[in-house]
């Protein structure tokens, strides 16, 4: 990649602007934020037409190392689609996603006064058994498993995205529902978190989880740590969205050809009101990796200034990395 300092990485599109606004609402809309993550992936050219390009084992078509085709590819290279067209595309994707969640909620048989276990059973029957929402090991290898529009289309995804589908469908149907961010595995709760409630696993098609199943699940993810009360608290929308973006970053990290995906996931995370400060350094590193040496170096130096008072050694290491980035222009 060339050593220039182009502006392609700085483009702020319709999905990103709406994401920033939605994240700062008094009551953030989880479905909207997740749909906007999907819109960002689409407008950045991170999906091939109809298929994710992340799993390069031969499962999907196309050429490894490219970021998309058509207008989407232009967006990934910094040219971007026409702003009016992009705005319309984002609106369409969000409207279609919200409409599909409404439609799925309408498929739940109406019944007054459902107990928590009955709500869990109803969602498991409709979404899990009848419609086939669920997941398996191969879904962890696909970027689209972390994108709500694609999960709604394919009915496959990671535990956290399937849990988003369940909570949003159940909420629309009037259920007392919430997400639970267990270590390594997101699930859904029905009822009162501090009282009578049940937990279900959308990734497993809606299996209801007793204490023994929960303990085994948590122990497997943590290497044997016991289940704590804190792990069972409801997860807020912004906490859930940050975890989704962390998953996308983790997916892209071992795939150097997908550094663009990792970059926009970092940049969306930075738009959240609360996020790890070190993400600023990660963004700077990614800019350098993608050939934007000057901008990356400047952002490293800005980050070093912020952390210098508390972590002087770390700040000096960051400044050293900034000098190395600038030297790559010579």
pLDDT tens figures, 120-156:
999 999 999 999 999 999 999 999 999 999 999 999 9
Q: Can you tell me whether residue 201 is helix, strand or coil?
A: strand
Residue 77: exposure state from Cβ atoms within 10 A (0-12, 13-18, ≥19): middle
pLDDT surpassing 60 at residue 75: no
pLDDT, greater one: 62 or 241: 241
The rounded distance, in Å, linking the Cα atoms of 251 and 248 is 5
Q: Give the contacts of 322 (CB within 8 A, at least 6 positions apart).
A: 284, 296, 297, 298, 300, 301, 304
- The region, left, alpha or beta by phi > 0 then psi within -120 to 50, assigned to residue 45 is left
**Per-residue model confidence (pLDDT) at position 38:** 97
Instruction: State the pLDDT at residue 204.
Output: 93
DSSP assigned state of 129? I
Please tell me the total number of residues recorded for the chain in this structure: 330
Q: How many CB atoms within 10 Å of residue 62? A: 14
What pLDDT sits at residue 90? 95
Asked whether residue 2 carries a pLDDT value surpassing 50, the answer given is: no
Region of residue 2 (left: phi > 0; alpha: psi -120 to 50; beta: else): beta
If residue 214 lies in a helix (H) or strand (E), which one and from where to where? helix 211-222
- Mean pLDDT, the chain, as a whole number? 86
Domain definitions of the chain by residue range: 15-45+89-235
Asked whether the predicted pLDDT for residue 58 surpasses 50, the reply is no
Residue 250 clears pLDDT 70, i.e. is over it: yes
CA distance 116 to 20: 34
C-alpha 57/C-alpha 126 separation (Å) is 33
pLDDT-based confidence at residue 228 (cuts at 50, 70, 90): confident
Q: Is the pLDDT of residue 1 over 70?
A: no
The tens digit of pLDDT for each residue in 210-224 reads 888 888 888 877 777
Integer Cα distance of 115 and 133 in angstroms: 22
- The secondary structure of 275-310 as a DSSP string is --TTHHHHHHHHHHHTT-HHHHHHHHHHHHHHHTTT
């Amino acid at each position: 990649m060339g050593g220039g300092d182009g502006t392609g990485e700085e483009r702020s599109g319709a999905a990103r602007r709406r994401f920033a606004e939605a994240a700062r609402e008094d009551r953030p809309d989880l479905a909207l934020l997740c749909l906007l993550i999907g819109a960002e992936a689409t407008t950045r050219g991170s999906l091939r037409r109809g298929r994710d390009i992340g799993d390069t084992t031969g499962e999907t078509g196309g050429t490894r190392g490219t970021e998309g085709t058509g207008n989407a590819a232009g967006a990934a290279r910094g040219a971007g689609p026409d702003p009016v067209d992009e705005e319309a595309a984002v609106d369409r994707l969000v409207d279609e996603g919200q409409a599909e969640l409404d439609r799925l909620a309408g498929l739940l048989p109406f019944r007054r006064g459902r107990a928590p276990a009955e709500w869990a059973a109803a969602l498991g029957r409709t979404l899990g058994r009848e419609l086939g929402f669920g997941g398996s090991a191969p879904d962890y290898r696909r970027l689209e498993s972390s994108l709500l529009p694609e999960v709604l289309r394919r009915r496959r995804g990671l535990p956290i995205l399937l849990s988003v589908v369940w909570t949003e469908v159940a909420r629309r149907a009037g259920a007392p529902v919430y997400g639970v961010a267990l270590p390594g595995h997101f699930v859904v709760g029905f009822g009162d978190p501090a009282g009578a409630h049940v937990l279900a696993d959308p990734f497993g098609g809606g299996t209801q989880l007793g204490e023994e199943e929960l303990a085994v699940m948590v122990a497997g993810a943590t290497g044997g740590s016991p289940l704590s009360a804190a792990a069972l608290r409801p997860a807020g929308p912004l906490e859930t969205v940050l975890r989704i973006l962390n998953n996308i970053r983790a997916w892209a990290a071992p795939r150097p050809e997908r550094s663009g995906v990792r970059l926009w996931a970092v940049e969306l995370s930075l738009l959240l009101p609360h996020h790890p400060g070190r993400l600023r350094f990660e963004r700077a590193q990614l800019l350098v990796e993608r050939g934007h040496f000057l901008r990356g170096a400047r952002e490293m130096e800005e980050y070093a200034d912020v952390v210098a008072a508390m972590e002087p050694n770390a700040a000096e290491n960051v400044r050293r990395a900034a000098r190395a980035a600038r030297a790559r222009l010579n």
